[in-house]
Structure 1
Amino acid sequence: MEYITHDLLQLKEEAKLISYTAIPEWVECSLARAPFVVVRRSVHRDRLIPVGIRGERRNQRFGAFLSEHAIKQATRPEDLTSLFQNGYSRKIPAISALEEVAVILKDFVWGPTGSVGFELASGAEVVTTTSDLDVLIRLSSYLSIEQAKMILSKLKRCPVSVDVQVETEKGAFSLAEYAKGEETLLLRTVYGPTLIKSNQLV
């Protein structure tokens, strides 16, 4: 299986992180509570998967690598939409907003990322009452500036702030930035961010 950015990976009990720097003490505690990591947007080294570990605090984020043999199960953000549609309804604004977002993005392949995606995948209650909702759209065809603006205008009616990243084969970009219609656009790739011409996304 190919592991791509934003995939949520459940670790086997014997899984070991691989890091070229010292691993913070909080990482072990975090993985003991919820043995899940997120695939980072980075180059895969020596057949190792770049992953990110989240702690309880916002500033607790750590990047490491993982062998695919350490993975028990992988879940894509778009696979998570069925969970809240089938009854996961913890009364937190960012989670409740998923139903409204589902209607707005019904014509796209999409899914929650960030803390909401992590909670849906792991069951760990990491979403707070002040959490925003991060989602991705997996783009397979042309998206016009007008479509982007329309999506954003509808999302503004949601009870929480919704940040949308658009994933393409070339990399990812912010829907809000794209909707501005500027000539250049910041594209996030596995090699780092780069500026491209907006019409190169077509």
Structure 2
Amino acid sequence: MVMRVNLPVQPHDLLWGMPMATVPADAPAWVFEVITLGHPVVVRRAQVAQGWVAVGVRGHSRDQRFATLMSGADIAWRVQPEQLVDAVDNVVADWPALQALRQIRSLMNALGLPWGVAGGAGFELATGIQVLHQDSDLDLILRTDDFFSREQSAGLVEALDNALWRIDLQLQTPAGAVALREWAGAARKVLLKADDGARLVDNPWQLQEHAA
């Protein structure tokens, strides 16, 4: 049964329902395998036609990533990173990345901003499929619709550096994604990952300052 999901969905959302018929015929064999198994795809950043979603298929190894498109009409279920924050309480796996998630949860909640779990940790929490390992980082997103200062970012970096394990956090701005550590640093321009590509900008929250 298809659930009507309002578009646009957001980067890092996990989507179920990708039909085999829409997988490109020249896709690697492993792509057909994971779609057959009913694994979700992850929303990625790209410009697409109305009604379509840019997605990535995740394979069994780190080098298995395949970019393709999914029709919004085929979305059967969606899980967002924010929905996975507390899912860590229901898993028995105790990878360092998940230990770090439990440790920093109250810190992140105290920011008063929507945040969630992405990357391998998000995928494993959402599906129960083991993709993490002893050396996996914890990937997080923080939704910052309003300006989030460099000073705030530096303070957050310092706090996260006290965690049990390595944490990679992306700030999700209205214009695209910026690495927290980069925005907290000293460089005048930072790399903004947007739907139309990546570019260096002075301020990710001020579109008029975007520069190539």
Structure 1 and Structure 2 fold alike (TM over 0.5): yes
- How many residues get paired? 199
Name the stretch that deviates more: 52-61 or 138-147. 138-147
Alignment of 1:79-94 (within 5 A): 79-85=83-89, 87-94=90-97
CA distance 1:181–1:198, change in 2 (3 Å)? farther
Kept after mapping to 1: 8 A contact 2:137/2:165: yes
Name stretches of at least 5 consecutive residues in structure 1 with no aligned partner: none
Q: Return the offset for 1:29.
A: 1.6
CA distance 1:95–1:16, change in 2 (3 Å)? farther
Aligned counterpart in structure 2 of residue 7 of structure 1, from 3, 13, 22: 13
Are 2:157 and 1:152 aligned?
A: yes
How far, CA to CA, are the matches of 1:192 and 1:185 in structure 2?
14
Q: Return the offset for 1:15.
A: 4.9
- Which residue number in structure 2 is paired with residue 76 of structure 1? 80
How far, CA to CA, are the matches of 1:62 and 1:140 in structure 2?
29
Aligned counterpart in structure 2 of residue 164 of structure 1, from 166, 169, 179: 169
Kept after mapping to 2: 8 A contact 1:5/1:40: yes
- Which residue number in structure 2 is paired with residue 41 of structure 1? 45
Name stretches of at least 5 consecutive residues in structure 2 with no aligned partner: 1-5, 208-212
Are 2:44 and 1:29 aligned?
A: no
Alignment of 1:44-123 (within 5 A): 44-85=48-89, 87-106=90-109, 107=111, 108-123=113-128
Q: Which amino acid aligns with 2:17?
A: L
Partner deviation per Cα, 1:148-177 (whole Å, 9 max, x = no partner): 111111111222210011001111101000
Q: Return the offset for 1:130.
A: 1.2
How far, CA to CA, are the matches of 2:82 and 2:194 in structure 1?
20
How far, CA to CA, are the matches of 2:34 and 2:52 in structure 1?
21
CA distance 1:4–1:200, change in 2 (3 Å)? closer
TM-score scaled by length of structure 2: 0.86
Q: Return the offset for 1:113.
A: 0.5
CA distance 1:151–1:60, change in 2 (3 Å)? same
How far, CA to CA, are the matches of 2:205 and 2:157 in structure 1?
22
Q: Which amino acid aligns with 1:73?
A: W
- Which residue number in structure 1 is paired with residue 3 of structure 2? none
Q: Which amino acid aligns with 1:52?
A: G
How far, CA to CA, are the matches of 1:30 and 1:61 in structure 2?
11
Name the stretch that deviates more: 55-64 or 135-144. 135-144
- Which residue number in structure 2 is paired with residue 192 of structure 1? 197
TM-score scaled by length of structure 1: 0.90
